[in-house]
Amino acid sequence: MKEFSCICGCKQFTLVKRKYTEVDFSQEGAIEGHPFIRNAGELFDSLLCFECGEAVSDEQAQEMLKEII
């Protein structure tokens, strides 16, 4: 396992993802009178240092993501 650390020395990070939801007002959903809603998936957004909150650079974040997944 490859180890990563922040410039502050912390080795703990928060993985941030975005969750997308499709909302279709042209058809009714499972609850009467409400639009059709469907989960459209999640997308990796960033990695943040757990201690100082500094965002990890995109290049390093991609390397870290490979280790996580």
**Structure confidence by residue, pLDDT tens digits, 1-48:** 899 999 999 999 999 999 999 999 999 999 899 999 999 999 999 999
pLDDT on residue 1:
84
Amino acid 5: pLDDT = 95
pLDDT at 50 over 90: yes
Query: Residue 60 above 90 pLDDT?
Result: yes
Q: In the prediction, which pLDDT does 34 show?
A: 94
CA distances (Å), origin 9, targets 12, 48, 52, 54, 58? 9, 13, 10, 12, 18
Give the DSSP H/E element, type plus range, for residue 64: helix 58-68
Q: What are the two backbone dihedrals, phi and then psi, of residue 57, each rounded to the nearest 5 degrees?
A: -60, 150
Residue 69 has pLDDT above 90, yes or no: no
